[in-house]
Structure 1
Amino acid sequence: MKTEKVVDHIVNWLQDYANKAGMKGFTIGISGGIDSAVTSTLCARTGLDLLCLEMPIHQHAHQVGRAANHIEWLQNNFDKVSRQEIDLTPVFDSFVSALPKVDEESRFLTLANARARLRMTTLYYFAGLERYLVAGTGNKVEDFGVGFFTKYGDGGVDLSPIADLVKSEVYEIAEFLGINAEIINAAPTDGLWADNRSDEDQMGASYPELEWAMKMQEAGKTKNDFSGREKEVFLIFIKLNSANRHKMLPIPICSIPISIK
């Protein structure tokens, strides 16, 4: 990958999109992870306004710390970068207390997704106040491979600057941009779970493995072409890709025949 050219291309694309839309800049949720760090830095390089939101919900201290350190780094290196911390923990707790009681195990995933959707709502609140675009942080493997995002949560954005980059390419850009080592070295996590589980814990495969499986699927391979761990990873990818395809496709519309309208 021609990293510098890719960075320039994304920055120019962001500038052009914002200018054509008549928007002043971008807002983005900073999680302390690699994707939001890279995306926010690319947005900052446009020279347009960038509002970085910290939105902790029962967040682990090290995640909060990495996010805060990254925003400080952005402000030290770029103009027009502002920050706002919104503690959504009381909002989330109030939401949970208003819900009917159900089996704890069955609602774990829905509550994790609720965190992401509260953050999306907050991002759009500030975007609306300032005429900003909400920048998405999903990469190609997450958005179009395994569907590892929350529908109308972190998937609810105005534009996706890094969605054509696989995770290894995101890391390559992070190195080029000088992103803090603590972020580059941290295990990827969506930060939606109280036990701090990693993305690999949830999916059962690492991003390098999933990148490989995505390439194999695109090459027309089947499970019969592999054995051992490779077959296991390929089946994990296929299962996630199939289960989450509804996130990757446009919302289905019931088309009414002209003859009955």
Structure 2
Amino acid sequence: MMKELKQYLSYLVKWIKTEVTKSKCEGVIVGLSGGIDSAVVSLLAKQAFPNHHLAVIMPCHSDYFDQECAQLLINNHQLNYHLVDLTATYDNLIATLALPSHQLAFANIKPRLRMTTLYALAQSHNYMVLGTNNADEWHVGYFTKYGDGSADLVPIIHLLKSEVQKAAKLLGVPSQIISRPPTAGLWTNQTDEKELGFIYQQLDYYLQGKSVPAAIAQRIKQLHQTSEHKRRLPKGPPNIFSSLISVSKN
């Protein structure tokens, strides 16, 4: 398993380089959250473009441990990085919107501000944005539409969470990051598994066709169905306009 995974990671590095070159871009940019997924993608980014990669830390009412973990990865692997504090921007937008308090709607502004920041920096450098979604998150829609669900390339989208953890060890991600409870950092003490209602191992098993409790399987199916719109381009109506014109001409 580890041998094959190592080969696959090498393939991903080549794939990133190929796709960026085809797009006439010069490098890649990644939002570095302090979590395991963005750590793995950041290290793939550096391997693909040693001099033309950028890891961006974007605190926004964030747990300071997020930034500590991100900085640890940067220091250990000499990553090119940039810090953009979005706290004041977020606060100003919330005040301007003057909406009734809605925890999830307000929380989802954070990843959308971060993606706006990444694309602004990417365009200024002629870089492509690397997404950090893994197979588990993508299947159940555990990402913010037009936030962390947006990117130019999504290199680890076929890796299960357990495979991302193994990849992190192969790449030299610090143990403090690997052992952290997965969190989107949307609010204080928020964790992925608490919000999803099951643990990642159960989701891994489900995606591998292994047995999981019936209630968990049903929950995963429900999340997959209700999040289908997140995995598609914006939906338009059937194109009947041309047929209407043909009918009117006749």
Q: In which range does the TM-score fall when normalised by the shorter chain? A: over 0.9
Return 5+ residue gaps in structure 1 as ranges: 76-80, 220-225
1:1-261 matches, cutoff 5 A: 1=1, 2-48=4-50, 49-75=52-78, 81-102=79-100, 104=101, 107-143=102-138, 145-193=139-187, 195-216=188-209, 230-257=213-240, 258-261=242-245
Residue 223 of structure 1 aligns with which residue? none
Cα distance in structure 2, aligned partners of 1:101 and 1:133: 34
> Which deviates the most, 37-46 or 248-257?
248-257
Q: Letter of the 2:93 partner, please give it.
A: F
Q: State the one-letter code of the partner of 1:16.
A: T
2: CA distance between counterparts of 1:45 and 1:166?
21
Distance in 2 between the 1:138 and 1:83 partners? 20
Residue aligning to 1:78: none
In the TM superposition, structure 1's runs of 4+ consecutive aligned residues that sit over 6 Å from their partners are: none
Deviation string, structure 1 residues 227-261 (Cα, Å, up to 9, x no partner): xx711211221121111111122322212222214
State the identity as a percent. Answer: 35
- AA paired with 1:60? D
Amino acid at match of 2:115: M
- Structure 2, gaps ≥5 residues long: 246-250
Q: Once the 2 structures are TM-superposed, how far is the Cα of residue 100 of structure 1 from its aligned partner?
A: 2.4
Q: Which moved more, 1:236-245 or 1:152-161?
A: 236-245
What secondary structure does 1:26 align onto? strand
Deviation digits for residues 129-166 of structure 1, max 9, x if unmatched? 000000000001111x1010011000110000000111
Per-residue deviation at 1:101? 3.6
Deviations 1:172-223 (A, max 9, x none): 1111111100000000001111x2211001101111111222334xx8xxxx
RMSD over aligned CA atoms reads 1.4
Contact 1:214 1:237 in 2 (8 A): no
SS at match of 2:54: strand
User: Separation in 2 of the partners of 1:42 and 1:121?
Assistant: 22
Q: Kindly tell me the number of residue pairs found equivalent between the two proteins.
A: 241
The 10-residue stretch of structure 1 (42-51 or 200-209) with the greater mean CA deviation from structure 2: 42-51
Asked if structure 2 preserves the Cα contact closer than 8 Å seen for 1:120 and 1:152, the reply is yes
What is the DSSP-based 3-state SS (H/G/I as helix, E as strand, rest coil) of the residue aligned with 2:144? coil
**1:11/1:45 contact within 8 Å kept:** yes
2:230 maps to a residue whose letter is K
Counterpart secondary structure, 1:67: helix
SS of 2:213 mapped into structure 1: helix
Which amino acid in the other structure matches residue 8 of structure 1? S
Q: Secondary structure at the match of 1:57?
A: coil
Q: Which residue of 1 aligns with 2:248?
A: none
Contact kept, 8 Å, 2:182 with 2:192, in 1: the verdict is: yes
Look up the SS of the partner of 1:64 in the other structure: helix
